[in-house]
Amino acid sequence: MVSREERMIGYYDEKHETMPRKEQKEFQEKLIREFCEYAYNNTKYYHDKFDAAGIKPIDIKTLEDFYNVPLTEKSELVEIQKNNPPFGGLLAIPLNDLNVVFRSPGPLLEGFSIKAMTSVGNSLCKALYCNGFRKGDIVNVTFSFAGVPAGLGFTQGVNLIGAISIPMGTGKTDVQIELMKQLNVTGFIGTPSFLGKLGKKANKQGVNTKEELSIDVGCFTAEPLPESLRKNLEDTFDMMARQVYGIADLGIIGRECGLAQGMHLEETMVTEIVDPNTKESLPPGERGEVIVTVPYRRAIPFIRFCTGDASRVMDEAICGCGRTSPKLERWLGRVNQIIKVKGQFLHPKQVKNVLKKHGLKKFQVVVTRPDNISDEFVIKVEFDGDPSSLPLNEINKELADAIILKPNVEFVKPGEIKGKEEIVDLRKFD
């Protein structure tokens, strides 16, 4: 069995994972220049999009130039495929050269060639290796195989690193527990809630999850992995629980290493953060919408694709694991729930995660601008009791760390918060 120490070290693709940031930027700029020219010359959609914006691929020499290219909203792609099926002017290769077609939520049809699927597999290998998976692992893959890429993609990644995959999907919990015992399964890929469900089911069957199961490493995505849940899974199975960030339309965008201090961005993608209102690019450290370009997607190119997810690129030095790519903070929710207060993007999920940890549920962030110059806000929290009985200093510190703003918490009686809105913006900007 692979030791825990072995899972914490090493690289799948050392050249790119440890590339100095200056070289990484130059590498991405080369990919982008070639990709924009390719998409412009081979798809009606991007040819028309570039022309409408008055941009030619030859104009794009740096990432800063690239950030002038119009964004691609998923809703646009869904609409053009609906009006001009099946691919709406997005297909850049002959139909007969496609090898795999998926249908992501929207619905949006996405095609891949074998070459593109190999690139997807390589990014998954890096993600799994970064998470701690190694050759010789026996891995339970519990994502769906029904028309979406997750199940097939992760299975391919597991096999490429030299591990054994068990393509299970969700459901059949009794069978999955039995197989985990029979085959001494060492790895799990899926949602944290599903592994938690398997753990509870195993305990009901009298199975000692630490002694009778061999799960040592887990790769989680599609759901948040808050620290409390991570600790619960690690304690239940005596395992390493790590997460990746990806979406069905794009693949794996970021992955945690053994240190679990943010998610290393995939080097062959270009990931940026934009202001969800102005769509202007934001510097590291600021929270906004995640925008991704995947240069190896040659069958159906995606350029500056809007994920609709909120996060930030962390502004920090090289990670202790030796990987040099910038890191993405955890998933912070959907951008249609985000609001900017005192120059910082605030998402209700950031507040909710802290309050939930302390058994507090209903809250409402009320934002005002009484002097029409500076923002003020209060976090109203329902609590049936004496607030002094709560660890107030701890709550305030955790809130300040989460929202990067000094919190102003006001406890109110249950029922005093009206409506279901978690953020109420009363500012007037006239």
Same domain, 285 and 301: yes
Domain assignment of residue 124, yes or no: yes
Same domain, 239 and 174: yes
- CA distance to 112, 335, 342, 373, per residue, from 376 (Å): 49, 21, 8, 10
Same domain, 208 and 293: yes
Q: Could you please report the per-residue DSSP string of 295-334?
A: TT--SS--SSEEEEEEE-EE-----TTS--S-EEPPP--B
Same domain, 326 and 351: no
Same domain, 282 and 359: no
Same domain, 328 and 351: no
The enclosing H or E element of 228 equals: helix 227-237
Question: At a CB cut-off of 8 Å and minimum separation 6, what does 203 contact?
Answer: 209
Structure confidence by residue, pLDDT tens digits, 289-304 = 999 999 998 999 999 9
Same domain, 238 and 376: no
Structure confidence by residue, pLDDT tens digits, 78-90 = 899 999 999 999 9
Which of 166-170, 173-177, 254-258, 315-319 is predicted with the least confidence, judged by mean pLDDT?
Answer: 315-319
Q: Is the dihedral of CA 9, 13, 18, 21 positive or negative?
A: negative
Domain assignment of residue 99, yes or no: no
Domain assignment of residue 197, yes or no: yes
* Nearest-angstrom CA–CA distance, 98 and 195: 35
The yes-or-no verdict on residue 171 having pLDDT over 90 is no
Domain assignment of residue 50, yes or no: no
Domain assignment of residue 64, yes or no: no
Chain-centroid distance, C-alpha 420: 26
Domain assignment of residue 61, yes or no: no
Cβ proximity of 279 and 72 under 8 Å: no
Same domain, 361 and 319: no
Domain assignment of residue 36, yes or no: no
Domain assignment of residue 100, yes or no: no
Same domain, 182 and 266: yes
Q: Each residue of 115-124: b (16+ CB within 10 Å) or e?
A: ebbebbbbbb
Report the mean per-residue pLDDT for the chain: 92
Same domain, 161 and 266: yes
Structure confidence by residue, pLDDT tens digits, 200-235 = 999 999 999 999 999 999 999 988 788 888 999 999
Provide the residue range defining the domain that includes 384.
Answer: 339-425
Domain count, the chain: 2
Question: At a CB cut-off of 8 Å and minimum separation 6, what does 15 contact?
Answer: none
Same domain, 154 and 252: yes
* Nearest-angstrom CA–CA distance, 425 and 211: 52
Same domain, 276 and 369: no
CA atoms within 13 A of residue 269's CA, in its CB half-sphere: 33
